[in-house]
C-alpha cells in the first residue's frame, strides 16, 4: 500500500496553478495517537496550497485514507457541546423540510458513532449511516443506528440508490476529507432524490483566516472551503447551493444546503456571502500569504510565552487532545518536556501518547487536584466557553488557562 503521495493538480478544477501559502513542516497524522514511543512513527509533509484558478485552499500531501480513517479515535459523543449542536441541527433541518410529511430517509456520510442520526431518528426519520472506521461503526450499530462500514464513493452511491433514494444526505466535517471531490459530488447527485437536499457542514475558510486557526490544517483536512470554490464544484454536477447558515462549532462552521438545479429558490444571503468573500479577498493569493505570515508570528509568541512560564516555575498541562492540538504542539515544538500531561474526555485517547510530541493523555479527573501555579494550555480552544464554565473551581483556586489562538493569552 502506498501510504503517501503528492497530488499535482487542484482537487476541484484540475489546474496546476497551485501556490504554496504555508508550510507546517513534517508532521505525523494528527489523530495517530501512540500506545508507546516508536522509532517507526510515520510523518509526512504538511503544506497548504492555493489554487489560483478556482480559489480552493488545499493540501497536496495526501496520506492514504485507509491509514487515516479505518480505525478512528475521534468520537462525536465525547464532546457534550457537539451533542447539543447535533440536537439543534436535527430539529432545525427536520422541522424546516419534513414537519407533518411522511417519514424521510436520511443518509449520513461519515456518520461516526451515529450521534447525529440518533437525533433524526428520535424525530421519526428512517436513517442510514456510512462510516469507514470499523471501530466507530460498531459503536453506532450497538446503539441501533444502521451503518454501512465503507468509504462513500459514486460506486457505493449507485448501489444505495437502487434500494431507495434519500430525501436528505448529510455530511458533517467530512467533505474536506475527500480526495476525489468530483467522484464524491457525482455520488451525491446520483443518490439524492430529485426533490431531496444535501446538507453538510465544513469549517469555514473565512473563520480559519480571520482567527488564524492554523491548527485545523492537517492531513485529514484536504480542502478548506469558500462558497466561491464550492459553487464551482457543484455547478459541474448541476447542483446549487440554495441556503447557508453560519455555526460557531469547530471554530466557525458553514452549514450548506444544496439541491438539484432549479429545484429550490436560492436565498439572497448566499449571494451576499459570496460577495463578501470577494470583498475579503478569498480569490486573492495575498490574503493567504498574509495568513501564512500571521501563523509564524503566532508560533513565535506562543513559544516565548511557554518558555517564560517555565522559567517562572509554572506547571503546564494540556486541556483536550483534539487532532488540532497535535498540529499546534508539533508545529510549535511543544513536547513532553514542557507539558507534563494532557487531559481528555475521550476514553479511546486516554493512556495513549500524542503523536510526534509524546505527551501522555489522562482522564480529566486530574484537574480536580490542580490550582494555583498550574496552567492548562487550552488545545480544545473551540470549546473555550464550555470548558471555562466547567472548570470554574480550578480557576477559583488560582488555576489559569493559556489560550493559544488567535493571540496567545492567559486568563
Q: If binding is defined by CB under 6 A, does position 404 make contact with ligand TYD? A: no
Residue closer to ligand TYD (CB basis): 286 or 396: 396
Residue 405 as a binder of ligand TYD (CB under 6 A): the answer is no
> Taking Cα atoms as reference points, which of 194, 268, 208, 274 lies closest to residue 238?
194
Compute the distance between CA of residue 21 and CA of residue 200 in angstroms, rounded to an integer.
27
Q: Based on CB atoms, which residue is closest to ligand TYD, 24 or 380?
A: 380
Stretch binding ligand TYD (CB under 6 A), from 1-9, 227-235, 307-315, 320-328? 320-328
Site string for ligand TYD, 323-342 (x = CB under 6 A): xx------------------
Least Å distance, CB 116 to ligand TYD, is: 14
Measured distance CA(329)–CA(343) in Å, rounded? 15
Task: List C-alpha distances in Å: 284 to 29, 79, 187, 227.
Answer: 29, 36, 31, 14
Nearer to ligand TYD, 260 or 324 (CB): 324
Sole residue written with cell 464513493: 153
Q: What is the DSSP string of 358-370?
A: --BEE-GGGGGG-
Please tell me whether residue 224 binds ligand TYD under the rule CB under 6 A: no
Ranges of H-type helices in 143-266: 154-163, 181-191, 205-210, 227-235
Residue 11: CB minimum distance to ligand TYD, A: 20
Q: Give the shortest CB-379-to-ligand TYD separation in angstroms.
A: 7
Which residue, 76 or 137, has its beta carbon nearer to ligand TYD?
76
Report H helices in 26-179: 65-69, 80-97, 115-122, 134-142, 154-163
Reduce the DSSP state of residue 306 to 3 states and report it: helix
- The string of DSSP codes covering 133-156 is -HHHHHHHHHTT--EE-S---HHH
If one asks whether residue 345 binds ligand TYD (CB under 6 A), the answer comes out as yes
Phi then psi for residue 44, to 5 deg, are -140, 155
Interface residue with ligand TYD, options 33, 49, 74, 225 (CB under 6 A): 74
Should residue 320 be labelled a site residue for ligand TYD when binding is judged by CB under 6 A?
Answer: yes
State the binding string over 249-288 for ligand TYD (x if CB under 6 A, else -).
----------------------------------------
Q: Does 370 bind ligand TYD (CB under 6 A)?
A: no
* Binds ligand TYD by CB under 6 A, chosen from 386, 388, 403, 406: 386
- Name the site residues for ligand TYD (rule: CB under 6 A): 74, 78-81, 320-324, 344-346, 349, 364, 380, 382-383, 386-387, 390
Amino acid at each position: 500500500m502506498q501510504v503517501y503521495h503528492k497530488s499535482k493538480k487542484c482537487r476541484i478544477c484540475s489546474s496546476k496553478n497551485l501556490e504554496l501559502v504555508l508550510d507546517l513542516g513534517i508532521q505525523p497524522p494528527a489523530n495517530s495517537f501512540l500506545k508507546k514511543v516508536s522509532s517507526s512513527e510515520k510523518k509526512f509533509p504538511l503544506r497548504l496550497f492555493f489554487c489560483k484558478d478556482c480559489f480552493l485552499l488545499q493540501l497536496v500531501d495526501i496520506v492514504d485514507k485507509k491509514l487515516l480513517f479505518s480505525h478512528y479515535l475521534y468520537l462525536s459523543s465525547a464532546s457534550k457541546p457537539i451533542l447539543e449542536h447535533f440536537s439543534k441541527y436535527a430539529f432545525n433541518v427536520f422541522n424546516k423540510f419534513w414537519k407533518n410529511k411522511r417519514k424521510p430517509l436520511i443518509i449520513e456520510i461519515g456518520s461516526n458513532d451515529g450521534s447525529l442520526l440518533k437525533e433524526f431518528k428520535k424525530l421519526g426519520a428512517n436513517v442510514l449511516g456510512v462510516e469507514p472506521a470499523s471501530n466507530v461503526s460498531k459503536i453506532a450499530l450497538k446503539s441501533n443506528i444502521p451503518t454501512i462500514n465503507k468509504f462513500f464513493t459514486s460506486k457505493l452511491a449507485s448501489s444505495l440508490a437502487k434500494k431507495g433514494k434519500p430525501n436528505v444526505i448529510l455530511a458533517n466535517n467530512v467533505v474536506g476529507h475527500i480526495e476525489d471531490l468530483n467522484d464524491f459530488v457525482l455520488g451525491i447527485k446520483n443518490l439524492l432524490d430529485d426533490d431531496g437536499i444535501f446538507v453538510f457542514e465544513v469549517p469555514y475558510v473565512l473563520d480559519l483566516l480571520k482567527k488564524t486557526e492554523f491548527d485545523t490544517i492537517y492531513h485529514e483536512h484536504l480542502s478548506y472551503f469558500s462558497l466561491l470554490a464550492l459553487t464551482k464544484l457543484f455547478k459541474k454536477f448541476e447542483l446549487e447551493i440554495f441556503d447557508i447558515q453560519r455555526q460557531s462549532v469547530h471554530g466557525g462552521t458553514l452549514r450548506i444546503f444544496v439541491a438539484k438545479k432549479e429545484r429550490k429558490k436560492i436565498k439572497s444571503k448566499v449571494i451576499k456571502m459570496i460577495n463578501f468573500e470577494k470583498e475579503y479577498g478569498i480569490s486573492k493569493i495575498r490574503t493567504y500569504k498574509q495568513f501564512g505570515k500571521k501563523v509564524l508570528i503566532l508560533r513565535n509568541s506562543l513559544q516565548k510565552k511557554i518558555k517564560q512560564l517555565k522559567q517562572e516555575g509554572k506547571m503546564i498541562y494540556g486541556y483536550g487532545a483534539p487532532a488540532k492540538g497535535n498540529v499546534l504542539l508539533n508545529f510549535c515544538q511543544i513536547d513532553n518536556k514542557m507539558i507534563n500531561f494532557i487531559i481528555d474526555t475521550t476514553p479511546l485517547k486516554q493512556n495513549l501518547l500524542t503523536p510526534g510530541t509524546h505527551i501522555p493523555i489522562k482522564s480529566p479527573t486530574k484537574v480536580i487536584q490542580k490550582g494555583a501555579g498550574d496552567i492548562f494550555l487550552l488545545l480544545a480552544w473551540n470549546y473555550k466557553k464550555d470548558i471555562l464554565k466547567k472548570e470554574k473551581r480550578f480557576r477559583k483556586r488560582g488555576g489559569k488557562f493559556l489560550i493559544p489562538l488567535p493571540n496567545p493569552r492567559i486568563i
